Structure formats: structure tokens, C-alpha cells
Homo-oligomer: A and B are copies of this chain.
Amino acid sequence: MKLTILKDFLNESIHHVSKAITSKTTIPILSGIKIDADYNGVTLTASDTDISIQSFIAKEQDGLQVIELQKPGSVVLPAKFFVEMIRKLPSQHVEIEVKEHFQTTIRSGTAEIQLVGLDPEEYPIMPGIEENKRLQIPSDILKTMIKQTSFAVSTNEATPVLTGVLWTIGGGKIKFTACDRHRLATRETNITSGTDIENISFSISGKTLNELNKILPDQNTLIDVVIADNQVLFKLSSIMFYTRILDGTYPDTSKLIPQTFQTEMVLNTKQMADSIDRAYLLSREDKTNIVKMIMREDQSVEISSSSSELGKVTEQIPVNKMTGELLRISFNSKYMLDALKVMDSDLIQIGFTGAMQPIILRPDDSSSLLQLILPYRTTN
């Protein structure tokens, strides 16, 4: 392999695959980045077994010659060092030459770096994914759906499937569900492609989706999602993002959600979030995060929390609409804050079916998003 490549393009591509670089791998070859050069361009690959990312750099982009190839080939180079060194090279022009035994020389300006390369044949091959189960989601909607659900996944590795976000696809809809036994978040959206897919579901690690989120463009680009037996592939313009499907059967969470409410209210999302945030500050000092909500006849709610050491926070906030029984209910302020932060409407509906039953939050103008929080049992 021998080529010259423009530094900025190489750096951008490294930046994309770097999300899959791990220093903690037990498979030595995975501490490297694989570089494949052919007459179309250069492909970088990094993998931590959970995620694999490939980024392609085309030979020519917008009339600019990005790569000058003298000899095609492949090599695996030590990732951490390669990433940092390329960033610090003195010239825009970077020459990479691989000789016998994968001895690699990088030249740029006055600097010459000799690297011990590894055999690319030892690098795991990306899974071949049949494209029969394939759909498209706009990037911005996918980003929002990840943001609105992934925070609610379980952190308990004893039940791996719950550390993921469940994707349920069918009937022209896609639904995300995350649940950690104390709270649940669901968000659904209509899809216009892949409508032939009927009732499949799988769980993808919340952490992985957050990594994907960083790569997804903010613009309204369509992202191809290809689903295989144990892998899902996300195709962006020049990036292929592979992720493993989590083992295990996701529990049926539909029965958790009450269909009718004893008390319902509509209130200002930001006012409620700010008030819970203040109560949270105090409640977390006692590590309980307990906040109390008392509904009042004058169409207001009182939010309060107290800490034996520090003191007490009390706040009255007005309610736009309130129907049903006036309740006193306690809950985890951190969970409530997480749920309120991802509500993208000015007003929210909150539904209660009693002091010991799930609290349901929805945007006032949409039923596509739902957040459920289990209340705390408290004595008063």
C-alpha cells in the first residue's frame, strides 16, 4: 500500500470511527484501526465488538483530489497513537507507505514516523447483512427518539436486554421503549419506507445509540436502517455503523400503562421542570431524591422536598387545568426531571391513578411520546 491523502479528510474520517476504538479490548488487533486503500478511495474500520464503524473517504470530493493512490493494500495501525499523530502532522499532505511485514512509514513535511503495523487478515470481517429488512428514518427524528428514551434504560448489566432500547416495528410505525423497572419512556413515529416489515422487535444498547447519536447529522437526511438476525446496520452517507442486537426477551411493558386516570392536569413544562430541579437539589443531599407534590383546590400544586441536614424547599406552581381527585404523591425528582427535560412541547399533561400508581407524562399536543414514573411509597 502506498498513497498520499489530505490530512483534514483523514482526520474527519478518524473522528467518525474513533467512537468504536477501545483501549480495554482483550483482542489485540481491535486496538488498531484498519486502513483499506483501493482505486475508489480509503476505508477506515474500528470495532469494539459491540459497535463497528466504517468510514469511507472518496478519492475525489467536489473536484478536489483527496487521495493519490500509488499502490492499493491494507494495514492495521495502533489506533490511539495513529489518531493523535495524524492530528499533529506538520503538513496537509500525508504519505502512508506499507512495506514488508506491515512496517508502515508516515511522512508529512519534515516528520517521518515508522510504525509497527499489524496484518489486516487478522482483523474481523464486517458481518454481511442481507438487505431484505430495510427501512429509512429521517436523521433528526431518529436523534430525537434516542434522546427521549435512552436515558431511561436500565444500568443493571444482570439483565442485558433492559440496558437497551426496544425497537418495535410494524404497521407502518416504529416505536422505541426504554424501561428500568422504576420508569418507562416510549416514543413512536410513522415510517414511509419498510412498511412491509411486520411485527419485529429487538433491543439495541442505550450506550450504543448515544454513540450513534453523536455521528447522526442534525439535518433532515434519511438514514438507512438494515436489520439482520443479530446485527443492525445504520448507513449514513460515508459511514457504516454496525451494532449488535442484545440477547434476551424484552418484557411486555404495555400493561404497566394505565388507560384511565383518576386525576389529570395540564401545566407549563418549563415551570414544572425548573421547580423540580430546585427541589431535586435539596432532595439529592439525602440521596433519596424524594419530592412531594400536593394538589390544591386553587388550581395549583405545591412541590416540596426536605433534607434533615440542610432544610426545606417549597414552591407553588399554577396549573392550567386540573380535573379529578386532589392527590398527595411522592416521586423520584431525578426521574421526573429526566422525563420533563425531553418533553418538546410548552405544555404537558400529567395523569394519576392514585398515590401508589404510575404517573404518566405526555406532551399536551401529541400522543407519540409517553413517560411513566412509579411513585414512592411514603408515610405522609
Contact = CB atoms under 8 A, between A and B. Distances in A.
A315 B85 contact: no
A11 to B, nearest CB: 15
A313 B116 CA distance: 12
Given A84-B281, A88-B278, A281-B88, A112 B310 contact: no
A278 B309 contact: no
Contact of A316 (B85, B110, B314, B315): B110
A176 B187 CA distance: 61
A89 B275 CA distance: 9
Interface string A291-319: 00000000000000000011111111100
A104 to B, nearest CB: 8
A313 to B, nearest CB: 5
A113 B312 contact: yes
B311 A114 contact: yes
Interface size class of A (residues with CB under 8 A): 20 to 34
Contact of A282 (B81, B90, B309): B81
A165 B114 CA distance: 41
A217 interface: no
A90 B271 CA distance: 9
As for how many copies of this chain the complex holds, the number is 2
A193 to B, nearest CB: 44
Interface in A95-121: 104, 110-116
Contact of A113 (B113, B274, B309, B311): B311
Nearest to A117: B311
Contacts of A116: 309-311
Interface string A65-98: 0000000000000100100110011100000000
B314 A78 contact: no
A277 interface: yes
Contacts of A8: none
A316 B111 CA distance: 7
A310 B115 contact: yes
Interface of A: 78, 81, 84-85, 88-90, 104, 110-116, 274-275, 277-278, 281-282, 285, 309-317
Given A84-B281, A89-B278, 6 more contacts: A78-B309, A85-B282, A104-B311, A110-B315, A111-B313, A114-B311
